Amino acid sequence: MALDAVVQTIAHYRQLEEVGRRPELQYNGVSSEGNNVELFIRAQTLNTLYKINAIPPSLNLVIKPEINSLLDKSSETSLREFESSTEAILNAIINGKTIEGVDIAESIQNPQFRFKSTKDPVISASMSEAFAILMSRARSEAGKKGSAERNRKSDEFAANMYNVIQNMQVESGVTTLQATVDLLNERGVRTYSGQEGSKWHLKTLQDLQKRWAKLGLTDKKPNIE
């Protein structure tokens, strides 16, 4: 592939960087007049560009030391070649149809999946990278929301258990951790898991005390030691 095409690809990613998106590569001294070109490339992008033969062997590549550790991970990327055009691939994604025996819409859900059209390899590779970035971000956001929801439920459980244990103290006079654990199990009070028959342990109660401290209940927590 001509060096001009490589330069165009680099320029495309540079534009992504300039508008605040995560850059896949950076360049220094890029010129279409010769091969003395230095590229600072993320490992995954380097791996992809090599696979689509978008990098001439004579091109001088400089890998940033801090991303060398990613080179092994980049080999995990799965590249699927298609004879169909990029437009046909995108139509298959939009319409949820298989293309050349591949459920492409399902495949791109995996951030490690990449596709390439032999008809227009550079633009298809760029499109594939864009999908991968979007999917990775979507998973990250979903993970953050899930974590926030789990924390909310944990806080709610801790606040409720504060009242439960406080009432147990008044009724039974228990004051030690072990006595409290034994009484919770005796009364069949469910742990955070909510499963019937789940057992309380010293660590379970100690973790609950830490949650009370986080919620500002430290000064008035049940007197269990």
Q: What is the pLDDT of residues 113-142, one digit of tens each?
A: 899 999 988 888 888 888 888 888 887 787
What distance in Å separates the CA atoms of residue 114 and residue 168, rounded to the nearest whole number?
A: 58
User: What does the domain layout of the chain look like in residue ranges?
Assistant: 1-75, 147-220
pLDDT tens-digit map of 35-50: 333 333 444 444 444 4
Confirm whether pTM is higher than 0.75: no
> What is the spatial distance between Cα 67 and Cα 64, in angstroms, rounded to a whole number?
6
Higher per-residue confidence, 34 vs 216 = 216
Residues 155-191 as b/e (b if ≥16 CB within 10 A, e otherwise) read eebbeebbeebbebbeeeebeebeebbebbeeeeeeb
Is residue 133 classed as helix, strand or coil in its secondary structure? helix
The candidate with the shortest Cα–Cα distance to 47, out of 21, 76, 18, is: 76
Dihedral angle computed from the Cα positions of residues 151, 156, 157 and 159, in that order, rounded to the nearest 10 degrees? 120
